[in-house]
Structure 1
Amino acid sequence: VLLHGLFGSRANLHAVAKALVRGGSGRVLTLDARNHGTSPHSPLMTYEAMSLDVQHLLTGLGITKCILLGHSMGGKTAMTLALQRPDLVERLISVDISPTSTTPISEFSSYISAMKSVKIPDGLPRSAARQLADDQLRPVVQHPQLRQFLLTNLVEVEGHYVWRVNLDAISHHLVDIMNFPVFHKPYPGPALFLGGSDSPYISSQDYPEIQRLFPKADVHYIAGAGHIVHQDKFEEFITAVLNFLPPP
């Protein structure tokens, strides 16, 4: 079961899902988090709520045990689920995120404000609308790759361009999303923390907390990868994940 990160959608992990199935992983499920992709919007955006969403989906599909892989925010949702319901999680893969608090919130707040202030006239062709939105985001979101990623959320609904992510709920819960809930009982199963060597999100300062909550965890870095490990070093990422999966 693959869980995407903040401002992402299940489409970010389609190539990963296909490669894992080709590699013999068995069935793979990708899903949109609440307030993302085509999932319903809700004013609540905590890891407990997102973990429950996944639990309800697993129950509805009759899945009694799964291997969870989550990137960034999805990794924190996956960890929350494993710690709440270890019986449902056979093993856990957290991609470039630790069970600790993450980056300064101000950076994400400024992205949200920039997205909210994008103005696009109705009836523009999609390519022109994207270009206009890109120009308006550029002063705040300097990184072109990040702008392209945010722009995957620009959709046309009945002739108007809107953001399909629930920006109000996300901005309201940014502190929750950047933090991690408190847990006392560790997850007993195998866990892999798969980081990018060029990313600061899994640092040696996090090792004691990883060890406390995930005593069977391995930490592995993929050389030359940034935060979006599966995009930066796709083949190496797939190999690392397949190597961690149980033999068929």
Structure 2
Amino acid sequence: MSVLCRMFTKGLFCGQPQWLSVGGSQYFCSGASRLDCVRRDSAANSTSPVSLTYDVFDGKGDSTPLVFLHGLFGSKSNFHSIAKSLVQRTGRKVLTVDARNHGKSMHTPVLTYEAMTNDLTHLLGQLRIGKCILIGHSMGGKVAMATALSQPSLVERLVVVDISPAPTSVRTNFRAYIEAMKEVKIATDIPRSTARRLAEDQLRKQVKEHSVRQFLLTNLVEQNGHYAWRVNLEAISNHMDDIMGFPEFNTTYEGPTLFLGGSSSAYISSEDYPEIQRLFPCADIQYIPDASHWIHADKPLDFISSIIRFLQS
């Protein structure tokens, strides 16, 4: 069970209704790591791995396990229903993983692809997984690509969901989302449903799309009556250029690779094809009709079928 680590300001327990800003300085510890909630230290620029929280869905078969990596502002729970279906249909073990600064994994000032790749490699070593099939969406897709390019022996197959190795040029509102989330203030000791409604009302001005607000609100969590964002907004904000970019690689990943885009999304364009082919010479590029950037949420059955066909190819 993760522990919410919080610094309380003077007057918090004075009996008056309290309002807390839920942006910025609320932190979680990984229950798996049992590490202290030490957030900013002399290792601020380190890429040393942190322990990641994860969920395992056990299959009866002994085939190579599938490992799902979520996107920015996401968590391991984003792929739970997909994972359960794939276990039933393939018999494979499936893992869903919280990236650093997301979900219940440890917070750290660093949020680069080198660091996240080291985290994943460390986790696979801890779990004695010598080879896996990596499936990553958006930011998680970049982590998956970086892992395959730097540690190809760990990756039997690779699925990259609606992202490419080219720097992300799609116009995004992520910085506006972060600022809106930082400004949210929620009263203490109110029902979760009320807190969620109040938070959505405050996000509405900056975050116009209902589906995006609902996605961001999955990060609003409660403990002992107090509400906070479980994502590390400061680290995300400070590393937005890193997240939108991609490290330079002169290596290639020769394994079977599927780039799976949404037909209504602009995150994988024809301009990206040369870089995809340079780094992933065995890549196949496919699009799911009428799917946005969140393919697995828009078209879960088509998404699952595409994964299974790729595994069987």
TM-score by structure 2 length? 0.77
CA change 1:104–1:211 in 2 (3 A) is closer
Alignment of 1:150 with 2:230, yes or no, is no
Specify the SS of the correspondent of 1:120. strand
What does 1:112-127 correspond to in 2, within 5 Å? Answer: 112-127=178-193
The 2-side partners of 1:42 and 1:105 are apart by 27
State the one-letter code of the partner of 1:124. I
Report deviation, 1:105.
6.9
| Deviation for aligned residue 1:238 | 0.4
Q: Please, which of 248, 251, 255 is the counterpart of residue 189 of structure 1? A: 255
Tell me which of 153, 162, 165 is aligned to 2:231: 165
Secondary structure at 1:15 match in 2? helix
Task: Go from structure 1 to structure 2 and tell me whether the alpha carbon gap of 1:42 and 1:208 turns closer, same or farther (over 3 Å shift).
Answer: same
Q: Tell me which of 287, 300, 306 is aligned to 1:234.
A: 300
Separation in 2, partners of 1:245, 1:25: 12
- Among 131, 139, 142, the alignment partner of 2:205 is 139
Q: Kindly indicate whether the alpha-carbon contact (under 8 Å) linking 2:262 and 2:295 is maintained by their aligned counterparts in 1.
A: yes
> Is 1:59 the counterpart of 2:125 in the alignment?
yes
1:14 aligns with 2:80: yes
| Mapped partners of 2:71, 2:169: distance in 1 | 14
Cα distance in 2 for partners of 1:42, 1:246 equals: 39
Deviation at 1:230, TM superposition (A): 0.8
**SS of 1:243's equivalent?**
helix
d(CA) in 1 for partners of 2:141 and 2:187? 37
Specify whether residues 5 and 214 from structure 1 end up closer, same or farther in structure 2 by C-alpha distance, changes over 3 A only: same
Larger proportion of helix: 1
Residue among 139, 163, 167 paired with 1:97: 163
User: CA 1:123/1:103 → structure 2, altered by over 3 Å: closer, same or farther?
Assistant: farther
**Do the aligned partners of 1:65 and 1:88 also contact (CA within 8 Å) in 2?**
yes
Contact preservation (8 Å) 1:25, 1:242: no
Please state how far the C-alpha of 1:2 moved relative to its aligned partner.
Answer: 0.4
Task: Compute the displacement of 1:25 (Å).
Answer: 5.0
Matched-pair contact (CA < 8 Å) for 2:170–2:266: no
1:29 aligns with 2:95: yes
User: 1:159 deviation in Å?
Assistant: 2.2
Asked if residue 204 in structure 1 is aligned to residue 273 in structure 2, the reply is: no
How many angstroms does 1:215 deviate by?
0.3
Deviation track 1:112-136 (CA, whole Å, cap 9, x = no partner) reads: 0000000111111100100000000
Matched with 2:143 is 77
Q: Secondary structure at the match of 2:274?
A: helix
User: What is aligned with 2:174?
Assistant: 108
Aligned to 1:40: 106
Relative to structure 1, is the Cα distance of residues 166 and 214 closer, same or farther in structure 2, using a 3 angstrom cutoff? Answer: same
Specify which structure has the bigger relative contact order, considering alpha-carbon pairs within 8 angstroms and separated by 6 or more residues.
1
Distance 2:311 2:189 in 1: 48
Residues 82-115 of structure 1, C-alpha deviations (whole Å, 9 max, x = no match):
0000000001000000001114676111100000
Segments of 5+ residues of structure 1 without an aligned counterpart are none
Shift of residue 19, structure 1, vs aligned partner:
1.1
Q: In structure 2, what is the Cα distance between the partners aligned to 1:224 and 1:34?
A: 31
Q: Deviations over 1:117-175 (max 9, x none)?
A: 00111111100100000000001000000000000000113321100000000000000
Confirm or deny: 8 A CA contact 1:105 1:174 kept in the other structure: no
Cα distance between partner residues in 2 of 1:244 and 1:81: 19
Percentage identity across paired residues of the two chains: 61
Shift of 1:81: 0.3
Q: Which residue of 1 aligns with 2:71?
A: 5
